[in-house]
Chain A
Amino acid sequence: MLDFVSKRKWFFLLSGLIIIAGIIALALPPHLNLGLEFSSGTTMTLLFERPVAQADLRSALADLGHPNAIIQSSSQDTFLLQGLALPSGLTERDQEEAQLADNLQTKFTTTVRIVEFTAPGNTTPGNTTSGNNTIENTPTPTVNTTPGNNTLGNTTTGNTTPGNTTFGNTTATGSTTAGNNTSGNTTLALIFGKPVALSDVSSELGALGYTGITIQETALDTYFVRTKTVSTAEQAQIKQALEQKFGPMEYLDFTTISPEVSGQRVKYNIYAIIAAAVAILLYMAWAFRKLASPFRYGTCAIVALLHDVLIMLAVFAIFRIQVDSMFIIAVLTIIGFGVNNVIVVFDRLRESNVVASRFNLGTRVNMGITETITRSVNTSLTVLFTLFALYAFGGSTIHNFMLALIVGIIASTYSSLFIAGQLLVSWESGDFGRLFSWLPIRRQQSKTSR
C-alpha cells in the first residue's frame, strides 16, 4: 500500500512553497492584476481614421488629465467605405448599418463591425494613404465589379505617411452635428473577424445595392487605453479633443466602472466566499456527526479549500493574469468541486470508522486515500477534458476563466489526496502543538494516535 500519511510534511511543504511564492508576487508591485470590475476605472479602444503615434496619443491623454493611462497599440484591418448614401436620421442610419452588418455577416460567416466616423468637419481622407489598393464600385449593381484589380488583396500595411494628413478644416466647425449631415461624406469602417478579400467585399456591396462608393483596404491604428474612471460627458470631451489633434476617431469599445460599483462588488464577493465556507463547515459537521470531533472534518475541508484558492491566487499573481469577476466564479466553483473531493475521502473514514475501527486514524486515512485515488484522478481528468476543450475552442473571452478552473481542479485534486486527510492526522497526533511548542503559551497536549 502506498504511504500517503507519514510523508505529510513534504506535501504540506510543497503547497506552502507555491503559496509563499504567490504571496511574494502579491507583495511586489504591480501586486495583483485586478480587472476593471474590482479596481474601477475605464477601458476604451480607440480607432483612428489616420495614423497616430503612440507618444502623441500619450501626451494628448496626459493633457486631458490622464497622465497615468496604460496605452497599448495595435492595428485593425479595415475596409474604409466612402460615398455611401445613408439616411440622415440617426435611427434610420443605425438600422441600415445594422442591416448591412447582418448581410455581410451572413455572407462572410464571420463577425462584422461597422464603425462610422462622425467627426465634425470630416474631410475625405481617401488620398491620405498610399500603397493600399482602392476599388471604385461601378454605378450599376452588378456582382462582378472591376475584376482586374482584385488580386492585390494583401498589400503591406502601415506604410501610410503621416505627413499627408493635414486637416486644416477641422477648426471650430463643431456646429455641424452628425445627425444633420447630409449623407455622402460619411466614412464607414468595416471590420471583419477574419481576413477577407477586398474584391469579395466590393462585389458583395455591389450585390447589396451600394453603388458609386469607394472601398479602401487599410490598417487603422487602434489603441487600447486603461485609465481612471471616465464619465459620459468626459468621454465626449476626449473624443472631441483627440479629433482636433488626430482627425476622426471612434470608440470601438468603452467600458467604465466607478469606485462605488467596484467596491460593492468586492464586498459582496467576500461575503459570498465567507458564507460558502461557513455553510460547508456546518453541513460537514452535520454529515460527520456520528464521528468523534465532527467539526474537525469540516475545518480540515475548509483549510484544504483555502489551500486550493490560495494556489489559484498564487498562479494568477505570479503570472500577472487578470483577476476579474469570472475568477471569483471560478473560486466558488472550485470550492464546490474541492469539497466533493474531500468528502469522497472523508466518506471512506466515516465508513471505516465502523468497519475497520481497530486501525488508527493514520492507517484509516491512508486506506481511504488508496481506495479513492482512482476515482479522484478519473473525475478530475474528465472535468479537465471538458475544461481543456473549453479553453481550446471556447474563445478568448473565457480563457482566463478556464485557466483559473484548470489550476483550481489540479490544486483541489492534490489537496484532497495529500492535504485534507493528512491535516486530520496531524491534528489528532498533535503536530500543530509541536510546531508551535517554542511559543511561551502553555498548550494542552493533544492525544497522540493510538
Chain B
Amino acid sequence: MNRRNLIILALIVLLVALGLAEVLVKNAPSITGGSPGNNTLGMRLGLDLSGGTRLVYQADLSQIGNESVSEAMKGAMDIITRRVDAYGVSEATIQKLGSNEIVVQLPGIRDVNAAIKLIGTTAQLEFKEQKDENGNLTWIPATGILNGQQVALTGQYLQRNAKVVFTPNTNQPEVAFNFNSEGATLFSQITGRLIGKPLGIFLDNQLISSPTVKAQIGASGVIENIPLDEARNLAILLNAGALPVPLIGPIERTSVDPTLGADSIHKSLIAGMVGLILVIVFMMLYYRLPGILAGAALIIYGILMLALFKLIPVTLTLPGIAGFILSIGMAVDANVLIFERLKEELRAGRVLGVAVETGFNRAWPAIRDSNITTIIVCIILYWVGSALVEPQMQGFALTLGIGVALSMFSAITITRTFIRLLVGTNVADNLPLFGVPKPAQTSSPKEQG
C-alpha cells in the first residue's frame, strides 16, 4: 500500500515537472502543432486579449444556384485568406458562420477601415474600350478571339504576380501585372486594335485607369496614376483574385484595442492569484491539515491546467481565464465534499486509513454526477460557441470543461495520495489536525449539526 502510494507520488512529481516545463518553455510542443503565441509564456490569445477586430460578412448568394453555394463560400474564404495573408496580418482566422456568412478575425490590426476595404471588395478586374454611340462615348467590354470564341478580357487571365513598382523618371507608384498565355493573346489583339485610343481598366465597375494605347502589347501592363496605398491594395486584390460572390457588410464589426487586451491579461492574472490564495487560506483555516494538502493539490492543478492550455493549445480569452479561475473554485468543491465525508468518518471513531477510503468512496457519486453534468453543460456551450464562431464562449466552455475534468483527477488522485501517505504516521492519530474534536467526544454522525 505504502509503496504503491510512493510510486503515485513520484508520478505526480514527474507530471508537475513536465507541466512546469511545458508552461515555462516558450516554444514547448503542442499536440496540434500550432505556433505558440507571441507573449512571454507562449500562450495563444483570443481577440479580446491580443486586441484586434472581428468582422462578419454576408455573402450575396442571389446570383448563385443552390448547388454551388458551398463551393462559392469556400472560394470566397480562400480568396479572403489570401488577401489577409498578403496584407500581413499574422494569425488571422477566417471561418464560416451559418450557411452564408464569413467571420474574419484580425488580431492586432490597427487600421480597420483599410482591412474592411480590402476584404469586402469583389475585385472584378475588367478591361473596356470606348464605343461611339451617336456622339456619346460609352465603355463596353474589350473582347478578343480565343479558341474561336469572342471573350472579354478580365482579371481571371492574370498571373498572380502583380506588384507595385515605381516609374524610373517620376518615381510614381504603379501596379505592374502579367497575363497568362490566354490573356496575352487577348491583350495583344485588343491593344493592336486600340492604338491611339484609350483602354479603360475597371475594378468592380469603377474606372481606375484609362491609359491611351501607344503600341501593341502582349504579356504585361501597368496601372498607373494611383496613390501608393491604393496601389498596394490593388496588387493584393489582383493576386488574390476576385470573390466568386459579392459580400455584404460587415454586418458585425467589433474591435478590442490591443492595449486594453494587455491590461485585461495583467488584471486577470492578479485576480487569479488573489483568488487562489484566498481559497487556499480558507481551506487551511477550516480544514487544517487536509486543507494544506488540498492547497498543494490546487497549486499542482493550476500548473497542470496551464500546461494543458499550451499543449492542446487552447486559445485563451477573457471568459476563458474566468472559466479557469472558476474551475479552481470548483476543484475545491471536490475536496470539500471529500473532507466533509472524511470528518464524518473520523467523528464516527474510524481510524484514518479506513476513514480516508470510506470518505472518498462515499463522496465519489456526488462528485461524479455533479462534474459530469457540468461537463455536459460545457459541451453544449462549446457547440453553441462553435456554431456562432464565438471564441469567447468556446474558450470559456473549454477551460471550464478541462478544469472540471482535471479537478476530478486532482481531488481523487493527488489529494487522496497525499492523505494516504499520512496513514500510519503519528499525524494520523492527531485528530484536531483534521478539524475533528478528540475521539472521546465523538458520537453518531446523525447528531452532528
Contacts and interface: CB of A to CB of B under 8 A. Distances in A.
Interface string A378-414: 1101110111011011110110011001000000000
Given A269-B384, A339-B374, A344 B337 contact: yes
Given A257-B254, A395-B264, A397-B260, A340 B373 contact: yes
Given A111-B263, A386-B279, A343 B370 contact: yes
A200 interface: no
A254 to B, nearest CB: 7
Interface in B96-125: 98, 101, 110-114, 116, 120
B372 A401 contact: no
B166 interface: no
Interface in A159-207: 177, 179-180, 193
B250 A113 contact: no
Contacts of A427: none
Interface in A218-263: 231-232, 236, 253-258, 260-261
B387 interface: yes
Interface stretch (A53-61, A71-79, A89-97): A89-97
B259 A112 contact: yes
B380 A275 contact: yes
Interface stretch (A138-146, A314-322, A326-334, A434-442): A326-334
B274 interface: yes
A382 to B, nearest CB: 5
A389 B445 CA distance: 35
Contact of B257 (A1, A111, A344, A387): A111
Interface stretch (A7-15, A18-26, A276-284): A276-284
B255 interface: yes
A374 interface: yes
Contacts of A135: none
A325 B259 contact: no
Contact of A256 (B229, B253, B388, B449): B253
Given A343-B373, A395-B264, A395-B268, A193 B259 contact: yes
B110 A97 contact: yes
Contact of A111 (B259, B272, B276, B449): B259
A269 B392 CA distance: 14
B251 A193 contact: no
A101 B51 CA distance: 14
Contacts of B255: 253-255
A256 B252 contact: yes
Interface residues of B, number: 84
A385 B380 contact: no
Contact of A105 (B56, B98, B259, B270): B259
A367 B446 contact: yes
Contacts of B253: 232, 254-257
Contacts of A291: none
B271 A340 contact: no
B268 A272 contact: no
Report whether over half of chain A's contact residues are helix, strand or loop; otherwise say mixed: helix
Contact of A113 (B252, B254, B259, B274): B259
A390 B252 contact: no
A397 B264 contact: yes
A4 B365 CA distance: 24
B446 A336 contact: no
B373 A385 contact: no
Given A255-B255, A382-B329, A336 B270 contact: no
Contacts, number: 238
A337 interface: yes
Contact of B228 (A89, A275, A393): A89
B283 interface: yes
A446 interface: no
A336 B282 contact: no
Interface string B212-237: 00000000000000011110100000
Given A283-B372, A343-B369, A336 B263 contact: no
B282 A272 contact: no
A236 B117 CA distance: 12
Contacts of A378: 282, 286, 336
B340 interface: yes
Contact of A279 (B259, B376, B387): B376
A405 B327 CA distance: 13
Contact of B396 (A329, A383, A386): A329
Contact of A394 (B56, B259, B268): B268
Contact of A232 (B250, B325, B372): B250
Contact of B267 (A179, A269, A347, A393): A393
Contact of B319 (A193, A326, A386): A326
B250 A272 contact: no
B252 A258 contact: yes
Contacts of B366: 343-344, 347
Contacts of A255: 253-255
B197 interface: no
A107 interface: no
Contacts of B336: 375, 378-379, 382
B278 A386 contact: yes
Nearest to B340: A375
Contact of B110 (A94, A367, A386): A94
Nearest to B281: A385
B381 interface: yes
Nearest to B374: A336
Contacts of A256: 250-253
B380 A272 contact: yes
B175 interface: no
Contacts of A268: 384, 387-388
Given A283-B373, A390-B268, A397 B330 contact: no
B227 to A, nearest CB: 5
A350 interface: yes
B134 to A, nearest CB: 33
A136 interface: no
Contacts of A287: 365, 369
A370 interface: yes
A389 B279 CA distance: 11
Nearest to B260: A111
A247 B365 CA distance: 68
Given A193-B263, A333-B326, A375-B340, A325 B392 contact: yes
B417 interface: no
Contacts of B380: 272, 275-276, 279, 332
Interface in B261-303: 262-264, 267-268, 270-272, 274-276, 278-279, 282-283, 286
Nearest to B117: A232
B332 A393 contact: no
Interface in B332-379: 332-333, 336-337, 340, 344, 362, 365-366, 369-374, 376-378
Given A179-B228, A253-B255, A325 B390 contact: yes
A256 B253 CA distance: 5
A81 B155 CA distance: 44
10 contacts: A111-B262, A113-B259, A193-B259, A340-B371, A379-B332, A379-B337, A386-B272, A387-B326, A387-B329, A397-B318
Given A279-B376, A405-B326, 5 more contacts: A260-B58, A271-B384, A379-B332, A382-B333, A383-B329
Question: Which 3 A-B residue pairings sit nearest by Cβ, starting from the closest?
Answer: A386-B275, A383-B329, A340-B370
